[in-house]
């Protein structure tokens, strides 16, 4: 078990996005695709599935050694933020659910209520927040079976202006997502998840060329350059 004082949350991505995050001193929110599957349903003769997009920023509390080995599926580079920063900004671990469990049945009823009744009362708002914070224990990723629980995901879910940015987008309304353009979908600085250099524990890069580029760009900022680490498989 990790010592809580040493816990770091990593946001994995490609090198260009890590550069942009460092330059902005903050993470920008995007709508990300999710799906929730519920166990066997006689009417549909199989699992029932709800697909949607939610605004969030995703992190993981995988160990530093796992990140350095490239075990994250979301990018070869990463930026690691300290746990105090995460807690102060309202990040929370994802609730993983098994599709055949009792809680899965209850959550499916909440999903039905959201789709049927909209988001006009407190109960619907609470159900929507739950919808933003759950993930199946296992599923399919790029046509392969995957244990999502192994991702150890934490999420930042912003409080958005619902008239401009809905709290979720049903896959049947994906044209609404297209209207936001390419990621990041929400570039308004009012929703930037900001940080200072001292909130950073690690900056993980894929090779020494990337480390050198970071040092050239941020060479005057010792708080940035002293936190850079190169993935173990790419040390030479």
Model pLDDT, residue 46: 58
Task: For the chain, give the percent of residues with pLDDT over 90.
Answer: 50
Q: Are 11 and 21 in contact (CB under 8 A)?
A: yes
Express each pLDDT in 57-73 by its tens digit: 999 999 999 999 988 88
- Reference 131, options 102, 98, 109, 163; nearest CA is 109
Mean pLDDT, all residues of the chain? 86
Higher pLDDT, 177 or 213: 213
pLDDT of 75 > 70? The answer is: yes
Query: CA of 168: how far to CAs of 13, 34, 155, 165, 178, in Å?
Result: 23, 10, 14, 8, 14
pTM (2 decimals)? 0.88
Q: Which helix (H) or strand (E) holds 10?
A: strand 8-13
Higher pLDDT, 120 or 9: 9
Higher pLDDT, 186 or 120: 186
Calculate mean pLDDT across residues 122-133. Answer: 78
Model pLDDT, residue 41: 54
Model pLDDT, residue 234: 52
pLDDT of 56 > 50? The answer is: yes
- pLDDT confidence tier of residue 161, bands split at 50, 70 and 90: confident
Model pLDDT, residue 118: 55
């Amino acid at each position: 078990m990790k010592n809580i004082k040493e816990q770091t949350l990593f946001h994995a991505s490609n090198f260009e996005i890590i550069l942009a995050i460092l330059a902005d001193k903050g993470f920008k929110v995007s709508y990300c695709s999710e799906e929730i599957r519920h166990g066997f349903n006689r009417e549909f003769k199989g699992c029932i599935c709800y697909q949607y997009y939610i605004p969030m920023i995703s992190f993981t509390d995988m160990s530093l050694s796992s990140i350095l080995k490239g075990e994250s599926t979301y990018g070869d580079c990463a930026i690691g933020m300290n746990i105090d920063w995460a807690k102060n900004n309202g990040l929370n671990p994802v609730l993983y659910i098994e599709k055949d469990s009792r809680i899965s049945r209850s959550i499916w009823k909440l999903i039905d209520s959201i789709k049927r009744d909209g988001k006009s009362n407190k109960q619907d708002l609470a159900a929507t927040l739950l919808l933003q914070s759950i993930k199946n224990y296992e599923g399919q990723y790029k046509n392969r079976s995957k244990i999502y629980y192994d991702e150890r995901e934490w999420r930042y879910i912003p409080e958005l202006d619902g008239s401009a940015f809905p709290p979720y987008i049903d896959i049947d309304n994906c044209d609404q997502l297209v209207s936001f353009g390419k990621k990041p979908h929400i570039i308004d600085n009012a929703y930037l998840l900001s940080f200072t250099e001292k909130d950073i524990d690690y900056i993980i890069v894929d090779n020494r060329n990337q480390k050198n580029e970071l040092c050239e760009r941020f060479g005057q900022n010792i708080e940035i350059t002293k936190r850079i680490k190169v993935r173990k498989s790419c040390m030479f």
